[in-house]
Amino acid sequence: MNFIKRAGITLWAKKGRTILLMVTSSVILLFVMAGLIIQSAALQAAKTATNSVGSTVTLTTNRETSFKAMQSAMSSTSSDSDSTTTTRPKMTEYTTSLSSVEKIASLSNVASYNITNTAQVAASGFSAVESTSNSMQGGPSGDTSSSSSDISISGVSTTAATFTSGEEKIVSGRGIKASDQDTTNAVISQELAKSNNLSVGSTITVKYTNDSSETSSYKLKIVGIYKSTTSSSSDSFRDPSNTIYTSYTMPNTIKDTKDQVSNVTFIMSDSSKTKSFVKEAKKDINTTQMQISSDTSMYEQTAKQMKTVASFANKIVWIVTIAGALILGLIIILMTRERRREIGILVALGESKPKIIGQYFVEMVIVLLVGLGVATASGQAASGVVSKQLVSQSLTASQSNQTGANGGGAQGGTPGGNGGGRMGGTMRATQKATTLKTVVTPGTILELGGVAMLIAVLSVAGASSTILRMQPKKILQDD
Amino acid sequence: MTLAVENLSHWYTTPDEALYKDVNLTFDNGKFYAIVGESGSGKTTLLSFLAGLDMPAAGDISIDGKSLKQMGLTNYRRTRVSTIFQSYNLLSAMTAFQNVATALEITKSEHAGDKEFIFASLAQVGIDRTKAVKNVQKLSGGEQQRVAIARSLVVDAPIVLADEATGNLDHDNSIKIIELFEALAHEHGKTVILITHDRELAKMADEQVLLKDHQFTQLTATKS
């Protein structure tokens, strides 16, 4: 009867002790399995969540250069003694060519892009929406242009790419499509439509005054009406209700800047490659006049969160493994002291102490194998709960960190001037619904098996010194 | 084969308080020996040295001139000696059959795994098949002692040591066991050494070794 068979006989003969050991090892391995599942799920969630969070790169006017140009213009104006009129300072809106934008968009890692051009125009034949303190709700036939540029034309690639924050949505007709290029199709706000009795199919006229004080009129055909939840402003031209969406070509037509682009937002397909994309894109633009910036903060924040969870889970695995080895090791040492007579008998019969240690190791392996089976079966059931919790926390963290300015038309710009594009980068997070299917994989079971083996070795090693030091004569005589 | 004890001395604290000093004994094969002495005289301690369970503080034990130290105690226990302990020392988690099988496996006996041999060996000491497959803790004291005897005999070691091997047996069974020891010595050429305090049983041996006042005296027994 070799020591392996002896191990089996002993475990079977002492069923109560064996069951207790199996329960203990099952609990220990279940905690280890939970840690391994969390670790695996966290790493997978990190990859999935970061990819879904995404990052954007914005190409827009270099504000610093534009501001310096404005200051320079102000200085030369104030020093001009012949100047009898006071002109308002203008922020120069630099642009880049459409071909440059398309070249940048063709770089790898660009999932999509949205061009935004703006123009400040005046309402003609209808009234802009004003604040209640200066309400001048004019009728549809009155020429009530109260400001020279009270309407903001936001030219976009598509309103679908712009209306991503949920603050705007189409409530009548349709949005601007790519096919609206070079047309006068427009989408107006619900407030603007109601205050002027406008509807889909109506036509409105806007007027644009250039730097040479020349005024041109443009007729826009309403193809859609949108609703905005953004709060209104006391300044009519800043009131989001006064933003009219058209194709990005319309502002170019108004300002006679054909094939020029003032603002582009590129959506990255792989957030981790944003920096390399920015570096590459800068080669195709005049970096003095245009700036290209990225915002990977959300991606990095989410990635960091998930990696923190994975790191924590890894620590859990090690702590439980070491604690498990200690617990089982102490149990085995206690059992060894109880079984010293058995050891003495075996030694007296001529069995070597290493084989007796081997018998203990085999007993431990059998016990841990049962624990492994229990932990694997329970882990399969628990993995679903764990993964749902993890994804829920991950999405909540991502949503709570999203900035409010996701998409949307260009706002602001300088009154009377050429209008300003959207300044600075705006994070647009396209959150994908993530369903994380985490299961107990063969790899996880293998890892757990490795941990179980490590626990067996460490726990028996602790008892080995006790066995090796035993004196059979003393044992047999004392008993 | 000669088992020799040479200048053996042993003490637990200091040499001045030695249990015994400079003991010299020889045990030849084919003879049945009885070591007789009062309780606490040190008989079992001597047996532990002869069984290879411990080494004396001084002196040596050898087989045909080869010291046990040279041979290695584990190897000696596995190949040269089998011991029947006073307290049986059976493996409590096992049946009588499994106890005997374990001994055969450890000593790498040619009969290891031979079920019929094991049952026959147990039957020889009065343990039938029904009792052979029972856990030893469910057997009586006398039955356990017979299992211990069977376990010791099956390994076919040249030296058989028995420490009060008949203590829990009735008279008739005790005689049977003594006769068995005689047969082992005379018919199978083994060296059989019985530790006992029973002088009547000791007289059945070929030679007696008297232990008194920490002194050993080797005598040739006069059988009655």
- Of A226-230, A236-240, B38-42, minimum mean pLDDT range: A236-240
pLDDT band per the 50, 70, 90 thresholds, residue A363? very high
| Closest approach of B75 to chain A, Cα-based (Å) | 7
Give the mean pLDDT of chain B. 87
Instruction: Find chain B residues with C-beta within 8 A of A14's C-beta.
Output: 93
Domain ranges of chain B: 32-55+76-205
Percent of residues, chain B, with pLDDT higher than 90: 39
Whole-number mean pLDDT of chain A? 78
Q: Is A348's CB within 8 Å of B89's CB?
A: yes
CA distance B63 to B80: 9
Which of B102, B108, B153, B163 to substitute to test the interface with A, most A CBs within 10 Å? Answer: B102
How confident is the model at residue A329, as a pLDDT? Answer: 82
Rounded Cα distance, B10 and B50, in Å: 13
- Identify the residue with better confidence: A420 or B179: B179
**Structure-block tokens of residue A48:** 């999935």
Candidate from B79, B92, B98 with C-beta closest to A1: B98
Q: What pLDDT shows up at residue A392?
A: 64
CB contact under 8 A, A350 and B89: no
- CATH entry, B32-55+76-205, from 2.60.120.280, 3.40.605.10, 3.10.20.30, 3.40.50.300: 3.40.50.300
pLDDT (average), residues A189-215: 92
Report angle CA B136, B141, B146 to the nearest 5 degrees. Answer: 75
Long-range contact pairs involving B14-20 (C-beta distance under 8 Å, separation at least 24): B15/B57, B15/B58, B18/B57, B18/B214, B19/B45, B19/B214, B20/B46, B20/B211, B20/B214, B20/B215, B20/B216
Contact: A348, B53; criterion CB under 8 Å: yes
CB atoms within 10 A of CB A476: 24
What integer is the mean pLDDT of A422-443?
48
The SS3 call for residue A25 is helix
- pLDDT for A390: 58
Mean pLDDT (whole number) for A332-346: 85
Contact residues of B toward A, CB < 8 A: 44, 48, 51, 53-54, 74-75, 77-79, 83, 85, 87, 89-94, 98, 101-107, 112, 135
Q: Give the Å distances, CA to CA, from A375 to A94, A328, A408.
A: 64, 16, 51
Q: Residue A395: what pLDDT?
A: 57
pLDDT at A218: 93
Q: Do A348 and B107 touch (CB under 8 A)?
A: no
Query: Residue A419 — very low, low, confident or very high, per pLDDT cuts 50/70/90?
Result: very low
Distance CA B55, CA B67 (A): 11
Distances (CA, A) of A341 to A55, A351, A471, B103, B146: 70, 13, 10, 16, 19
Rounded (5°) CA angle A184-A189-A194: 110
What pLDDT is stored for residue A320 in this prediction? 81
Lowest mean pLDDT among A355-364, A395-404, B81-90, B111-120: A395-404
Does residue A74 sit in helix, strand or coil? helix
Rounded to an integer, the average pLDDT of A139-150 is 51
Which residue reads 């006073």 in tokens?
B86
Residues 319-348 of chain A with CB under 8 A from chain B are 341-342, 344-348
Q: Which residues of A touch B135 (CB under 8 A)?
A: 13
Q: Tell which of B84, B91, B159 to mutate to test the A interface (max A CBs under 10 Å).
A: B91
Chain A stretch 442-471, residues whose beta carbon is closer than 8 A to a beta carbon of chain B:
471
Question: What pLDDT, on the 0 to 100 scale, is given for residue A394?
Answer: 55
| Domain extent listing, chain A | 3-50+302-401+413-478, 55-71+91-295
Burial class, A166, CB count within 10 angstroms (exposed 0-12 / middle 13-18 / buried 19+): exposed
Q: What is the pLDDT of residues A266-318, one digit of tens each?
A: 888 877 788 888 888 888 888 888 888 887 666 677 777 777 777 777 887 88
For the cut 50, the answer to whether the pLDDT of residue A319 exceeds it is: yes
Q: Does B102 contact A479 at a Cβ distance shorter than 8 Å?
A: no
Place A407 in a pLDDT band, splitting at 50, 70 and 90: very low
Which has more confidence, A138 or A98? A98
Q: Which of A345, A472, A473 sits opposite B91 (nearest CB)?
A: A345
Q: Please indicate whether, in this complex, the C-beta atoms of B135 and A13 are within 8 angstroms of each other.
A: yes
Q: Quote the tokens at residue B159.
A: 């030296």
- The pLDDT, as a whole number, for residue A194 is 94
Per-residue pLDDT, B77: 92
Strands B66-67, B81-84: pairing is unpaired
B10, B53, B151: best to mutate for the A interface, most A CBs within 10 A: B53
Q: State yes or no: pLDDT of A409 exceeds 50.
A: no
Query: In this predicted structure, which of A46-50, B15-19, B136-140 has the lowest mean pLDDT?
Result: A46-50
Q: Which residues of A touch B101 (CB under 8 A)?
A: 1
B44 vs A471: CB contact, 8 Å cut-off? Answer: no
pLDDT reading at A134 higher than 70: no
What local confidence, expressed as pLDDT, does residue A132 receive?
Answer: 56
Q: Are A447 and A375 in contact (CB under 8 A)?
A: no
Q: Would you call B93 and A349 a contact, using CB atoms and an 8 Å cutoff?
A: no
Structure confidence at residue A421 as a pLDDT band (50, 70, 90): very low
pLDDT score of A435 more than 80: no
Residues 233-262 of A with CB under 8 A from B: none
CA-nearest residue to B155 within chain A is A349
Looking from the CA of A154 toward its CB, the CA atoms found within 13 Å total 30
Q: Which of A44-48, A157-161, B84-88 shows the lowest per-residue confidence on average (mean pLDDT)?
A: A44-48
For residue B141, the model assigns a pLDDT of: 87
Q: What is the pLDDT of residues B168-200, one digit of tens each?
A: 778 888 888 888 888 889 988 999 999 988 888
Which of the four pLDDT bands, split at 50, 70 and 90, describes residue A417? very low
In Å, how far is A14's CA from the nearest CA of chain B? Answer: 7
Residues of A in contact with B12 (CB under 8 A): none
Higher pLDDT: A143 or B59? It is: B59
Asked if this assembly's ipTM is beyond 0.85, the reply is yes
> Is the confidence at residue A146, as pLDDT, over 50?
no
| pLDDT (mean) for B198-213 | 85
A9 → closest Cβ in B44, B74, B94:
B94
Model pLDDT for residues B20-62, shown as the tens digit of each residue? 788 889 999 899 999 988 777 788 888 889 999 988 888 999 9
pTM of the model: 0.62
Task: Give A476's contacts in chain B (Cβ within 8 Å).
Answer: 53, 85, 87, 89
Q: What percent of chain A has pLDDT over 70?
A: 75
- pLDDT for B103: 94
Beta-carbon contacts below 8 Å between A and B: 65
Q: A112 or A44, which is more confident? A: A112
What is the nearest CA distance from B207 to chain A, expressed in angstroms?
Answer: 26
CB < 8 Å to B104, chain A: 1
Q: What pLDDT does A437 receive?
A: 54
Q: What is the band of B96 on the pLDDT scale with cuts at 50, 70, 90? A: very high
Q: Mean pLDDT highest for which of A58-62, A80-84, B150-154?
A: B150-154
Chain B within 8 Å of A13 (Cβ-Cβ)? yes
Q: Comparing C-alpha atoms, which of A210, A120, A88, A54 is closest to residue A410?
A: A120
**pLDDT digits over B145-176, tens only?**
889 989 998 998 999 999 888 877 788 888 88
Cα A315 to Cα A313: distance, rounded to the nearest angstrom = 5
* pLDDT-derived band at A168, boundaries 50, 70, 90: confident
Q: Hey, are the CB atoms on A342 and B91 less than 8 Å from each other?
A: yes
What is the model's pLDDT at position A98? 87
Instruction: Decide if B93 and A345 are in contact by the 8 Å CB cutoff.
Output: no
Tell me the C-alpha to C-alpha distance, in Å, between residue B47 and each of B2, B43, B75, B220: 16, 6, 17, 20
pLDDT at A184 over 90: yes
pLDDT of residue B81: 93
CB contact under 8 A, B90 and A352: no
Structure-model confidence comparison of residues A201 and A131, the more confident one: A201
- Cβ–Cβ gap B48/A477 under 8 Å: yes
What are A42's two structure tokens?
């966290």
Is the pLDDT at A188 greater than 90? The verdict is: yes
Residue among B150, B197, B159, B195 nearest B177 (CA): B150
Under an 8 A CB cutoff, do B77 and A345 touch? no
Instruction: Please answer whether residues A239 and A231 qualify as being in contact, where contact means their C-beta atoms are separated by less than 8 angstroms.
Output: no
